[in-house]
Amino acid sequence: MTGQRPISPFESVYFLDLGAAGLPLYDMPAYVESLVRGTVDPALVSRALELLTIRHPSLRSTVVAGDDGLLLRVREHVRPPLTVLDGIDAPFAELINSRPDWTESMLHAWLLTEGEHSQVVLGIHHGVADGRSAFGLLDEFWQYYTALASGARPEPERRDELPEAVDTLLSGAFPDSELDVLVDALARGAGDAGRPATLATEGIGGADRPAPEHRFVVDRLEFGKETTDAVLAAARARGVTLNSLVTGLVLTAVRAQLAPEHGPLPMVCGHGVDLRTRLTPELPLSTLLNCITGLQTPVSVAHDDDPDTVGRDVARQFAAALARRDPERFLLAALRAGARGVPVPVPVVSYGISNVGRVPAHPVPDGTRLIRFGGTANAPGMPPKIGAATFGGRLLLQNEYDSWTYSTEQMARLREALRASVADLAR
């Protein structure tokens, strides 16, 4: 690890504005947030943020020009900006549609207050952190804040060396000849005309287009402990994971909105894969780094297909792809293709499933009650995704989408279908 290193090819899509030719990930933030009942002290929030930057050099990094490209360089000290706002729902909807000034800090924070409720929101540059490590950062923030609120003076270990990029850590994991075969396959795939079925329109415009500050939508379906336990029991009874169960429900609910009404349609399910678990040795979750890549699973879905069957099909293919090490092999091949100027097809996904998994409740100070917590990340034109997770023992199905591409009417029908399916499972 080092206090200065090149931005890797994998990370560069988050730091280089490639315009229409690239993925829409430039300067993309990842947001994590907690809603509590109780008063939150802005001064203690600011101090807890500074403690995070002491322990995580990525949060103190800045982008500078090097002889051979962009570099990440660690600064001595950074004070993450904290913005205090009145209100919760409307300000939160607007801030997740914003792009912070990352030259100031790779970490920004907001404190939203309304009555007896407070919401803390952390925004992290996606180039230095993925969703999994962002939730770890949120937990760490509350550990510091809770300690400070009790009168303690936590002193985290100061770190000044940046973790290596995940594609750098994976370099040499596969023979060059194996990656070259994949590069050739990707080049041939660039001309394929096949396109999976999606809910995407040609673009919502005119009076129907939401204002820019409401473009990205986060639609939460949260369930209490009784319903959560019933859904988890239903998954166990079927011998599947919660992720597989939700995948089948989502894909069949999307298929129900697509024409024609009869016959199968080709669809593609998108999943995120955490590459830190693919390394030997694995990187700990406390390593603040972007390690998420995508994996696309093709599946044929008809109107009358059973969600359990569809979910199992996707899960079976997903497990086989992991066993073949497809996520890391295809990532490295795509990066090699890009370095050679070989056009790589941009994946088209019918729907994404963000398998966040089980996230334990984080601490809060005495006299404060944790109501809920979660996170979101979106960018123009990204395919919609359902986040499936249990946060503090409560099931959350969160739909995230770009409302300039996907209509609220479509998403309302999907939401109602998922709500009804969960109710059926909980009976």
Instruction: Express each pLDDT in 57-73 by its tens digit.
Output: 999 999 999 998 999 99
Residues 140 and 184 both lie in one domain: no
Split into its structural domains, the chain has a count of: 2
Residues 175 and 93 both lie in one domain: no
Residues 271 and 414 both lie in one domain: yes
Residue spans of alpha helices (H) in 81-209? 89-95, 131-149, 166-170, 176-189
Q: Does some domain include residue 371? A: yes
Residues 114 and 179 both lie in one domain: no
Q: What is the pLDDT of residue 22?
A: 61
Residues 186 and 275 both lie in one domain: yes
Position 381 confidence tier, pLDDT thresholds 50, 70, 90: confident
What's the domain range around 216?
166-426
Q: Does some domain include residue 123? A: yes
Residues 254 and 123 both lie in one domain: no
Residues 123 and 215 both lie in one domain: no
Q: Does some domain include residue 155? A: no
CA distance 152 to 155: 10
Q: Does some domain include residue 158? A: no
Domain boundary among 93, 118, 149: 149
CA distance 326 to 335: 14
CATH label of the domain that carries residue 351: 3.30.559.30
Cα dihedral 388, 389, 395, 396 in deg (nearest 10): -60
Residues 390 and 243 both lie in one domain: yes
Q: Does some domain include residue 245? A: yes
DSSP 363: P
Task: Give which of 63, 219, 77 is closest to 128, Cα–Cα.
Answer: 63
Residues 184 and 319 both lie in one domain: yes
Q: Does some domain include residue 161? A: no
More confident residue, 415 or 380: 415
Residues 52 and 139 both lie in one domain: yes
Q: Does some domain include residue 157? A: no
**Which are the contacts of 410, defined by CB distance < 8 A and separation ≥ 6?**
199, 257
CA distance 212 to 99: 12
Query: Can you state the percent helix, strand and coil of the chain, rounding each to 5?
Result: 40, 25, 35
pLDDT at 117 over 70: yes
Q: What is the pLDDT of residue 226?
A: 96
Residue count of the chain = 427
Domain boundary among 149, 184, 200: 149
Residues 189 and 264 both lie in one domain: yes
Domain boundary among 105, 121, 149: 149
Give per-residue pLDDT as tens, 229-248: 999 999 999 999 999 999 99
CATH label of the domain that carries residue 139: 3.30.559.10
Q: Does some domain include residue 154? A: no
Position 343 confidence tier, pLDDT thresholds 50, 70, 90: confident
Give per-residue pLDDT as tens, 390-402: 999 999 999 999 9
Q: What is the pLDDT of residue 192?
A: 54
Residues 321 and 349 both lie in one domain: yes
Give per-residue pLDDT as tens, 291-308: 999 999 999 999 999 999
